[in-house]
Amino acid sequence: MALSANGARGEVPLRVGSVDLVIAAEIGRLAAVSTALDCKSFGDLYQRLLGVEVAATIAGVQHLAVKGDGARAAAELSLSDFPACAKAFSQALSHHLKDAEGKAEADEEGAPATQTTSPSPGATG
């Protein structure tokens, strides 16, 4: 693959036909895919991208590409590319979902501890 991907940023390499891409699930790019597909929720967008729906795969290749020619890749897209696209979409989305889960856990860990009371009057707790 000729293009380098920054995994820490959630970038994922993808080859479609003869075109090398790097995709990322950035919010603006996800919004473009969602708009193109008329998705009503993130769940709908997620299912359509990972379900290798033809229109969703084309929109994902076009709009999620941060490096490479997404339009040319979409034009070269064939059914044999769908498994790689689904895997790349999954990796890009998972990176940000795991990051969001980690932030939520960190927020909970940073919250003040709640005091518990021992049932026995002389016990410490």
Examine residue 76 and state whether it is found in any structural domain, yes or no: yes
Examine residue 84 and state whether it is found in any structural domain, yes or no: yes
- Arithmetic mean of pLDDT, 93-116: 57
Examine residue 48 and state whether it is found in any structural domain, yes or no: yes
Query: How do 65-67 and 19-23 pair as beta strands?
Result: antiparallel
Examine residue 117 and state whether it is found in any structural domain, yes or no: no
Examine residue 11 and state whether it is found in any structural domain, yes or no: yes
Q: How far apart are CA 33 and CA 58, in angstroms?
A: 9
The token pair at 43 is 């769940």
**Number of folded domains in the chain?**
1
Examine residue 1 and state whether it is found in any structural domain, yes or no: no
Examine residue 114 and state whether it is found in any structural domain, yes or no: no
Q: Tell me, what's the pLDDT at 83?
A: 95
Q: Tell me, what's the pLDDT at 100?
A: 54
Give tens-digit pLDDT for 14-67.
999 999 999 999 999 999 999 999 999 999 999 999 998 999 999 999 999 999
Examine residue 108 and state whether it is found in any structural domain, yes or no: no
- Arithmetic mean of pLDDT, 60-76: 97
Q: Which domain holds residue 61?
A: 7-96
